[in-house]
Amino acid sequence: MTAATHSSSFPAAPDSADSADAVLLGLDPEQREVATTLRGPVCVLAGAGTGKTRAITHRIAYGVRSGQLMPASVLAVTFTNRAAGEMRGRLRTLGAGGVQARTFHSAALRQLQYFWPKAVGGDVPRLLERKIQLVAEAGARCRVRLDRNELRDVTGEIEWAKVTQTVPADYPVAALKTGREAPRDMAEIAQIYGTYEQLKRDRGMIDFEDVLLLTVGILQDRHDIAEQIRSQYQHFVVDEYQDVSPLQQRLLDLWLGERDSLCVVGDASQTIYSFTGATPDHLLNFRTRYPQATVVKLVRDYRSTPQVVHLANGLLNQAKGRAAEHRLELVSQRETGPDPVYAEYPDEPAEAEGVAGRIRDLIAAGVPAGEIAVLYRINAQSEVYEQALADAGVPYQLRGAERFFERQEVQKALLALRGASRSGGNDPLLEDVVELGSQVRAVLSSTGWTAEPPAGSGAVRDQWESLAALVRLAEDFARSRPGVTLADLTIELEERKAAQHAPTVQGVTLASLHAAKGLEWDAVFLVGLTDGMMPITYAKTDEQVEEERRLLYVGVTRARLHLTLSWALSRAPGGRASRRPSRFLNGLRPGSVAPGSPPAAGRAARGRGRRGPVLCRVCGKTLTEAGELKLMRCEDCPSDMDEGLYERLRDWRAVQSKEQGMPAYCVFTDKTLMAIAEAAPAEGGELSMISGVGARKLERYGADVLAICAGQEPAGADADDA
Ligand code: ATP
Ligand code: MG
């Protein structure tokens, strides 16, 4: 993984090292405008990978080096501590060390600590590291029993209320209005929230949000202090401005006072934190607020190949809502690269194995493991990838989440399972229940787990998902080895745990899409892209679904070169293939139908273009199932497949897969081979029409496959394009 701000092509120019203009050399004309417009409000509205972060870093460096900005007078605000650290490093390299780059929170905390004695007197209150304990106490005082998960979600609601500056009494109305799914009765939450605040005050403590709230309070009430801060910081730069919360915006306004030396950059299409109260309105309304603002749009995408950018643009073309109205068509500045790969797998383990295999290929072909990422929607999806990578001997690291077996709920479940396996023989319930999956469910329900997912999308849901993943693991294990016992399962789980605990070196990144914001990798795998996961089932309103689409856009645009999008038709091996690929990919992946496109009645499917509905080439019916799309006919319509050709193709595939050390379906899936055997294409154009034969595969395998179809021996098994 490379931090976006690090991969600069800023030239080392020894002769002009001291000159400010040297900083501008690595920028395009629009970025240069951003960098040189040092006065007045500046707003950069631009898509992913267009160099927003780079432009503001260079802007600060240019201002400092040209003597127009005093380093100590600049405050750069970024989204995470990591991003802030990277920006400081980058600024140092560019000769602008000494500029403060912080998150809103860390900047406010520093100011609060400094001014507390003067503003309030006495010692600065202690920072409450974790709210949960105090929320539990507040719950108890209100006589509301909350289990551990509800506690987390009530805490989430309190945090939301605080960043949206909603006081306890107003919480129910505000929560209703914004359609929040509260984990408990809203009046109860309001009461717990109020009590929590009181307890905190009584103990002289402040929480994370108080840091911002109190700083805002002091700046509002104490003009002398506000002036002192304003005399230090005169210029403000904010990255990822589309995800600013109302509270952060308030703080920014107070820092600025009447002045307007503010530069904000953002991409409304990457708004992915609305659920925490963030809103792109501040970014989109910037011009209204500051009519004199310089607004710069960047459209050149320096990060990704035209192939990746084409998909990103396609995704946004289908987006709706306010953010989407402001989208900009990205134009890739890079040379062409491989087409995005769409990979459909029969089940999740096969998907993980396929991804791990392809990662191994990439590493073998020279892509560093640290330049590869697997991104998923929810953290519970990590386990199967942790395992597949461990099995494939590929080092990995998790971002923004604990490893699966280190999660508290999973550890607790393992403990319960071990206990049950020891006493299992005596337990009539367990004797009755023959199926391992049911046994595991029974044990987990004794720890409070329910078969049905809880409502809402908070911590309760995350933990439920982790345990559901554990149940699935048990079921898959039982299926693969009939007759296994609970004791066998606990041994298996221990082994997995040990394998995944292998010490990590610089490895493949496993991260949720949310945690991938602002970052970039050479190769990105977006996995688990089924309807239900992307968009996630609990995204119900149009706005929630649009936020999911933006999340996928963020994922796609993390890739510089290789992008693979995959999904599995069923969860477990042998399961019913009931899942469908993400609706967001309709009209974008080969063989799929764009939403709202009219049926092209009567058009033969064979020889069709890549877009538009696919019709069964036997009966003419519109096809929607992924498997049928591949075959280009209904599953039960008569096949005119040349069985002998199919067998020869399979034999050839087996050799390929062995030679390249990757699973057979990574060469071609069965469905694709069947479709080839049915079509028996005579030339490349015909072959490329078959779903599953992308440009890369055509180049790599086309000659072989066409030779086999023509009844000849393939020229050579050596296909080395990697
Ligand atoms: P995101 O929306 O994902 O945060 P961004 O707009 O902030 O993206 P950057 O991370 O600044 O984009 O830049 C993306 C990549 O393109 C980085 O590797 C950066 O170094 C490179 N880049 C940006 N501008 C240029 C340029 N003018 N010349 C060469 N490379 C550039
Ligand atoms: Mg950025």
Residue owning the nearest CA to atom 24 of ligand 1: 51
Contact status, residue 375 vs residue 526, Cβ threshold 8 Å: yes
541 appears as a binding residue in the annotation:
no
pLDDT at 612 over 70: no
Residues 82, 85: Cα–Cα separation, whole Å? 5
* Together in a domain, 663 and 540: no
599 within domain boundaries: no
- Count of CB atoms within 10 A of residue 224's CB? 9
pLDDT number for residue 610 = 36
Side-chain-side CA neighbours of residue 405 (13 Å)? 19
Residues 427, 14: Cα–Cα separation, whole Å? 78
Residue 295: φ, ψ to 5°: -110, 125
Mean pLDDT, to the nearest integer, of 641-658?
87
Question: Who's near 240: CB < 8 A, 6+ residues apart?
Answer: 78, 79, 83, 265, 266, 270, 517, 518
Residues 183, 156: Cα–Cα separation, whole Å? 10
* Together in a domain, 273 and 353: no
Which residue range is the domain that position 476 belongs to?
Answer: 404-499
- Residue in 327, 295, 297 with CA at minimum distance from that of residue 312: 327
101 within domain boundaries: yes
In the reported structure, the alpha carbon of residue 53 is separated from the centroid of ligand 1 by a whole-number distance in angstroms of 7
Residue owning the nearest CA to atom 27 of ligand 1: 27
* Together in a domain, 139 and 201: yes
Please list every protein residue whose CB sits less than 6 Å from any atom of ligand 1.
4, 7-9, 26-28, 31, 46, 48-54, 267, 270, 302-303, 518, 520, 557
Locate the ligand 1 atom nearest the alpha carbon of residue 55 and give its number: 11
* Together in a domain, 388 and 243: no
Locate the ligand 1 atom nearest the alpha carbon of residue 267 and give its number: 2
322 within domain boundaries: no
pLDDT number for residue 334 = 96
pLDDT number for residue 482 = 73
Model confidence at 495, pLDDT cuts 50, 70, 90, reads confident
Locate 201 and state its tokens: 């005050």
Report how many domains make up the chain: 5
- Residue in 126, 78, 134 with CA at minimum distance from that of residue 101: 78
Question: Who's near 690: CB < 8 A, 6+ residues apart?
Answer: 632, 672, 675, 676, 679, 681
Work out whether the CA dihedral 512, 514, 519, 522 comes out positive or negative.
positive
46 appears as a binding residue in the annotation:
yes
627 appears as a binding residue in the annotation:
no
CATH code, 133? 1.10.10
In the reported structure, the alpha carbon of residue 297 is separated from the centroid of ligand 1 by a whole-number distance in angstroms of 14
Mean pLDDT, to the nearest integer, of 654-658?
87
Residues constituting the chain: 722
pLDDT number for residue 426 = 41
305 within domain boundaries: no
Model confidence at 9, pLDDT cuts 50, 70, 90, reads very low
Higher-confidence residue of 537 and 635: namely 537
Final residue before a domain boundary, out of 206, 222, 244: 206
Residues 70, 48: Cα–Cα separation, whole Å? 30
Residue owning the nearest CA to atom 31 of ligand 1: 302
How large is the angle between the packed helices 148-163 and 459-480, nearest 10 degrees?
A: 140
Contact status, residue 371 vs residue 561, Cβ threshold 8 Å: no
The pLDDT mean for the chain works out to: 85
Model confidence at 226, pLDDT cuts 50, 70, 90, reads very high
Peptide bond into 535 cis (omega under 30): yes
47 appears as a binding residue in the annotation:
yes
- Residue in 345, 343, 391, 344 with CA at minimum distance from that of residue 573: 345
Tokens 């605040």, residue located? 197
pLDDT number for residue 469 = 79
Contacts 24+ apart (CB under 8 A), 121-129: 125/204, 125/205, 125/206, 126/204, 126/205, 126/206, 127/205, 127/206, 127/207, 127/208, 127/211, 128/200, 128/205, 128/206, 128/207, 128/208
In the reported structure, the alpha carbon of residue 529 is separated from the centroid of ligand 1 by a whole-number distance in angstroms of 26
How large is the angle between the packed helices 148-163 and 208-221, nearest 10 degrees?
A: 20
Locate 669 and state its tokens: 């899936």
**Residue 468 has what DSSP assignment?**
H
Terminal C-alpha separation, the chain: 20
In the reported structure, the alpha carbon of residue 267 is separated from the centroid of ligand 1 by a whole-number distance in angstroms of 13
* Together in a domain, 640 and 713: yes
Mean pLDDT, to the nearest integer, of 55-75?
95
Work out whether the CA dihedral 576, 582, 583, 585 comes out positive or negative.
negative
* Together in a domain, 97 and 189: no
Locate the ligand 1 atom nearest the alpha carbon of residue 2 and give its number: 18
Residues 552, 534: Cα–Cα separation, whole Å? 8
Mean pLDDT, to the nearest integer, of 615-644?
70
Final residue before a domain boundary, out of 206, 229, 254: 206
The closest ligand to the CA of 27 turns out to be 1
Final residue before a domain boundary, out of 279, 299, 319: 299
592 within domain boundaries: no
Residue owning the nearest CA to atom 13 of ligand 1: 51
How large is the angle between the packed helices 542-556 and 306-317, nearest 10 degrees?
A: 170
Work out whether the CA dihedral 419, 422, 428, 433 comes out positive or negative.
positive
Give residue 200's Cα distance to chain centre: 34
* Together in a domain, 491 and 535: no
Question: Who's near 75: CB < 8 A, 6+ residues apart?
Answer: 100, 102, 107, 233, 235, 236, 237, 255
pLDDT number for residue 702 = 92
Locate the ligand 1 atom nearest the alpha carbon of residue 557 and give its number: 3
| Greatest alpha-carbon span in the chain | 89
pLDDT number for residue 233 = 96
Locate the ligand 1 atom nearest the alpha carbon of residue 518 and give its number: 4
CATH code, 649? 1.10.150.80
Task: Choose the residue to mutate in 30, 59, 297, 302 for probing ligand 1, maximizing ligand atoms within 8 Å of C-beta.
Answer: 302
- Residue in 252, 341, 293, 301 with CA at minimum distance from that of residue 590: 341
498-554, pLDDT tens digit by residue?
A: 766 554 456 899 999 998 989 999 999 999 999 999 998 878 889 889 999 999 999
Which of helix, strand or coil describes residue 277? coil
pLDDT at 15 over 60: no
In the reported structure, the alpha carbon of residue 313 is separated from the centroid of ligand 1 by a whole-number distance in angstroms of 17
Contact status, residue 471 vs residue 478, Cβ threshold 8 Å: no
pLDDT at 436 over 70: yes
Locate the ligand 1 atom nearest the alpha carbon of residue 302 and give its number: 16
Residues 335, 307: Cα–Cα separation, whole Å? 9
Tokens 């645009």, residue located? 557
* Together in a domain, 290 and 432: no
51 appears as a binding residue in the annotation:
yes
**At CA 102, angle to CA 99 and CA 108, rounded to 5?**
115
321 within domain boundaries: no
How large is the angle between the packed helices 382-391 and 459-480, nearest 10 degrees?
A: 40
In the reported structure, the alpha carbon of residue 695 is separated from the centroid of ligand 1 by a whole-number distance in angstroms of 27
* Together in a domain, 252 and 167: no
* Together in a domain, 283 and 364: no
- pTM comes to 0.69
Question: Who's near 397: CB < 8 A, 6+ residues apart?
Answer: 504, 506, 507, 508, 509, 510
In the reported structure, the alpha carbon of residue 484 is separated from the centroid of ligand 1 by a whole-number distance in angstroms of 53
Higher-confidence residue of 677 and 254: namely 254
Mean pLDDT, to the nearest integer, of 155-167?
89
Residues 228, 301: Cα–Cα separation, whole Å? 41
In the reported structure, the alpha carbon of residue 52 is separated from the centroid of ligand 2 by a whole-number distance in angstroms of 5
Which of helix, strand or coil describes residue 68? coil
In the reported structure, the alpha carbon of residue 590 is separated from the centroid of ligand 1 by a whole-number distance in angstroms of 29
pLDDT at 149 over 90: no
Contact status, residue 99 vs residue 93, Cβ threshold 8 Å: no
Residues 493, 497: Cα–Cα separation, whole Å? 6
**Residue 424 has what DSSP assignment?**
G
* Together in a domain, 708 and 687: yes
- Bridge partners (DSSP) of residue 159 are none
CATH code, 17? 3.40.50.300
21 within domain boundaries: yes
Task: Choose the residue to mutate in 56, 241, 303 for probing ligand 1, maximizing ligand atoms within 8 Å of C-beta.
Answer: 303
Mean pLDDT, to the nearest integer, of 402-425?
80
Residues 107, 79: Cα–Cα separation, whole Å? 12
Task: Choose the residue to mutate in 54, 243, 273, 371 for probing ligand 1, maximizing ligand atoms within 8 Å of C-beta.
Answer: 54
500-513, pLDDT tens digit by residue?
A: 655 445 689 999 99
Residues 71, 97: Cα–Cα separation, whole Å? 7
pLDDT number for residue 549 = 97
Higher-confidence residue of 435 and 105: namely 105
Higher-confidence residue of 432 and 100: namely 100
pLDDT at 236 over 60: yes
* Together in a domain, 146 and 97: no
Mean pLDDT, to the nearest integer, of 389-417?
81
311 within domain boundaries: no
